[in-house]
Copies of this chain bind each other. A is one copy, B any other.
Amino acid sequence: MRRVAVIGVGVTKFGRHERSSAELFAEAAGDALADAGLPPSAVQALYYGNVVGGETEKQLHTGPQAASVLGIPTVPTTRFETACASSHAAFRHAVMEIGSGVSDVVLVGGAERVLNVTTEESTEYFAYASDAQWEQTLGLTFPGVFALVARAHMAKYGTTEAQMAAVAVKNHKHGTRNPKAQFQKEITLDQVLKSPMVADPLKLYDCCPFTDGGAAVVLASEEVARKARRPIWVLASAAASDWMLIGDKRDLSRVPATERAAASAYRQAGLGPQDVNVVELHDCFTIAEIVATEGLGLFEPGTGGIAAEKGWTSVGGKMPVNPSGGLKAKGHPIGATGAAQIAEIVTQLREDAGPRQVDGARVGLTHTLGGNTATVLVSLFGRE
């Protein structure tokens, strides 16, 4: 495969918007193209992530719509949907398009609008990522899924509710340094622990919010990237899956798809977890961050909670995780999340992250999870 670089990134403010997801994407894509120094006409393909557009906007076939609002209606475009990992999946497939020599410039991104429907409706639509016959009928929504994960991790390793709360406190602190974040307010451990119970042991502040937003990145072949101002190289992009049903998984304290995708990505890049300087990972719930840091090999199994508690995953700590604020504080516009994570890592590797900059970051990792831990994407990025 040919080498691929990210040469431009753009992210909208995350939060509540009175615009369609296609319009949110257009803003992010415009910023990404301007950052790349390219006009929209340079784009040869559009890879687009969107999840619940059919449900919240009565809109399928969102690829051509996203291309149309950008004024580039004739470029080939595909919508990717792998639940919350959709735009990370779009990214991986786009890497293959450039890697195989089909195109030199590909725009990748995603957007989502969910705050135009009620919380009850969004909770139901998100649950469509779990099995309709065997899980939705039992009322298993995502807070319930991750409460099961949390209980399994607590039982196996002694992980505490305070350790989970430490993840929320840390990510909210990071969020105050990110002007695009949905929440830019510090919270205390006590506030998390005393917040209303959602699905025992997960409380309100253990959960990421519903969010509207868009994100985009411009990918280029080496030839084009060499002419760009600040290319960041894609060192690896890997995907793995797992059983769809929670009941088919053997050990809920682990996410085997994370372990497999990470192993594949490290192998592609010829790197290991010890080489990674900064990480954006899928903290849809605080326990998800703890399990992901273990699955990615950043910490030993069972020590992810301790890492958060001791500040190792804070900006300034030995392994900074989610400097953007993560899904927890930056927000989680599902179809945009994977691309937004990549945008943050590129910003970090360019040393453009201002008050949330991880000093001297040379290798970054993004991790995105879809559904009942059934889809995971892991990518690695490096500066020259």
Contacts and interface: CB of A to CB of B under 8 A. Distances in A.
A234 to B, nearest CB: 13
A199 to B, nearest CB: 20
A75 B132 contact: no
A332 B374 CA distance: 29
A104 to B, nearest CB: 14
Nearest to A128: B60
Contacts of A57: 132
A100 interface: yes
A82 B96 CA distance: 19
B65 A60 contact: no
B54 A244 contact: no
A351 interface: no
Contacts of A133: 20
Interface in A339-384: 370-371, 374-375
A239 interface: yes
Contact of A54 (B55, B82, B240): B55
A37 interface: no
Report the copy number of this chain in the oligomer: 2
A interface, size bucket: 35 or more
B61 A371 contact: yes
A272 interface: no
B1 A102 contact: yes
Interface stretch (A66-74, A186-194, A213-221, A286-294): A66-74
A117 interface: no
Given A60-B128, A96-B100, A76 B241 contact: yes
B68 A82 contact: no
A74 B240 contact: yes
A81 B63 CA distance: 9
A113 B93 CA distance: 27
Nearest to A237: B102
A52 interface: yes
A120 interface: no
A93 B241 CA distance: 18
A370 B248 CA distance: 36
B375 A243 contact: no
A152 to B, nearest CB: 19
Given A96-B100, A100-B96, A244-B68, A61 B82 contact: yes
A370 B241 contact: no
A321 to B, nearest CB: 24
B83 A60 contact: yes
Contact of A136 (B52, B58, B75, B76): B58
Contacts of A112: none
Contacts of A67: 241, 244
24 contacts: A52-B54, A52-B60, A55-B55, A58-B128, A60-B125, A60-B129, A61-B128, A63-B241, A64-B374, A64-B375, A65-B131, A73-B241, A73-B242, A73-B374, A74-B240, A74-B242, A76-B240, A77-B82, A77-B239, A78-B89, A78-B93, A80-B80, A81-B81, A100-B101
Which 9 interchain pairs have the tightest Cβ spacing? A100-B100, A76-B239, A64-B374, A61-B129, A61-B83, A68-B244, A60-B128, A61-B371, A73-B243
Given A61-B82, A79-B81, 10 more contacts: A1-B101, A54-B54, A54-B128, A60-B129, A63-B375, A74-B241, A77-B239, A78-B89, A78-B93, A99-B102
